[in-house]
Structure 1
Amino acid sequence: MLRDASTADLPAIAEIYAHYVRDSVATFEFDAPDAAEWQRRFTAITEAGLPFLVAESDGRVAGYAYCGPWKTRPAYRHTVEDSIYLAPWALGRGLGGALLDELLDRCTRSGLREVIAVITDSGDESSAELHRRRGFAEVGRLRQVGDKHGRLLDTVLFQRSLPQPE
């Protein structure tokens, strides 16, 4: 089940993300955000009218996804960056695709034009493939911009144009 996230979901969201901060290179943060920081992020995204969703499975938050502004300058106002994270126990159930589909639908209805995905090239192709299957194209690579867990990492930029009303 997909639904809008609420502040009550933030502890579960924080727990999911903390796993990726500690145990992966999917994010370049070194310290998991605390409750106040998650509240700030949630408020900024929702007050901007951007989608912040959760996927539930067995009554638990199994994953979350949101779109945030790509850049703060006004000329970028129709471009967002997506972010999708799943609880380790929820991988392989199609929830990432369902979350991304719903994000894209909501962004289209909101009149947004472009969605960017910044994906760490860690050797795991699952996130890149998820985006490719939904029409994202690889548009660039930033070489060795991340240094985490003793690894120098590239990020790959993906972009999808959204349909525009006639």
Structure 2
Amino acid sequence: MITYRQAQLSDLDQILAINAHYILHTSLTFMRTSPHIGTYVDKWRDLQARGLPYLVAVEDTNTKELDVVLGYASFSPFRGHLLSYAPTVELSLFVHPDYQSRSIGSGLLNELFNLVRNGKVHHVVEESGPRDMIGYDDSESTGDNIQVRNIIAVMAVDPEGKDGGEELRKWYTRRGFVEKGRLEKVGFKRGHWIDTVYLQYSTS
């Protein structure tokens, strides 16, 4: 049985292993070297502090052993140093390579969609200036908690992927994302030039 829950500190080693596969063996991420576990801990703590979801899909083994992480998904700030971007987040979503084609990615995305549609994701933003600065408007916020309304997926078009990497773009558009732009040949990895596609999902 597959269940979805918030990621815990004990899940991060498995999340690192999933991410390392895509870093080392695909062009779905432009990274070439897997970060140290401390990088994942720092991100997990930062997203907790910001109130942004970091979900895992796990297989319930009905034992006292650690859950098996089948995939993970999270929201990160989109240009987080700018207060006006607070209603917009960037999506990260990866499925364990041994558990693909089991609708795990769709399940994770649906969980996040439900949180956003129901107004349950409020981004705790950072601010660099005083509240009385010219142009400051907190009409959309409760304190520093601003409701998330837009999800951005920034995906690399992996030439080694299905349909030359285009199948992943189609996967997003079938789930309500709208392609907003493509940057051509902006990366080079594993002997291939790589395009980047920007897709947007909006609740408004």
The alignment's TM-score, normalised by the length of structure 1, stands at 0.93
Out of 75, 86, 91, the residue aligned to residue 67 of structure 1 is: 75
2:88 corresponds to 1:79: yes
1:130 Cα shift? 2.6
Out of 99, 105, 127, the residue aligned to residue 96 of structure 1 is: 105
1:146 Cα shift? 1.2
In structure 1, the residue matched to 2:150 is 114
Distance 1:153 1:37, change over 3 A: same
1:57 Cα shift? 2.4
Give structure 1 regions of 4+ aligned residues with deviation exceeding 6 angstroms: none
Higher-helix-fraction structure: 1
Q: Partners in 1 of 2:167 and 2:52 — Cα distance? A: 25
Aligned residue for 1:68, secondary structure, equals strand
Greater displacement, 101-110 / 5-14? 101-110
2:177 corresponds to 1:136: yes
Q: Partners in 2 of 1:5 and 1:125 — Cα distance? A: 29
In structure 2, the residue matched to 1:30 is 32
2:185 corresponds to 1:151: no
Q: Partners in 2 of 1:64 and 1:14 — Cα distance? A: 10
Q: Partners in 2 of 1:127 and 1:5 — Cα distance? A: 24
Number of residues paired by the alignment? Answer: 163
Structure 2: any 5+ residue segments left out of the alignment?
62-67, 122-146, 159-163
Contact kept in structure 2, 1:97 and 1:130, CA below 8 Å: no
Q: Partners in 1 of 2:48 and 2:183 — Cα distance? A: 29
2:60 corresponds to 1:21: no
RMSD: 1.2
Contact kept in structure 2, 1:146 and 1:154, CA below 8 Å: yes
Structure 1: any 5+ residue segments left out of the alignment?
none
Cα deviation, 1:52-103, whole Å, max 9, x if unaligned, reads 0000125410000001011121111000011100111110000000101111
Percent identity for Structure 1 against Structure 2: 36
Q: Which has the larger radius of gyration?
A: 2
Greater displacement, 64-73 / 99-108? 99-108
Aligned residue for 1:124, secondary structure, equals helix
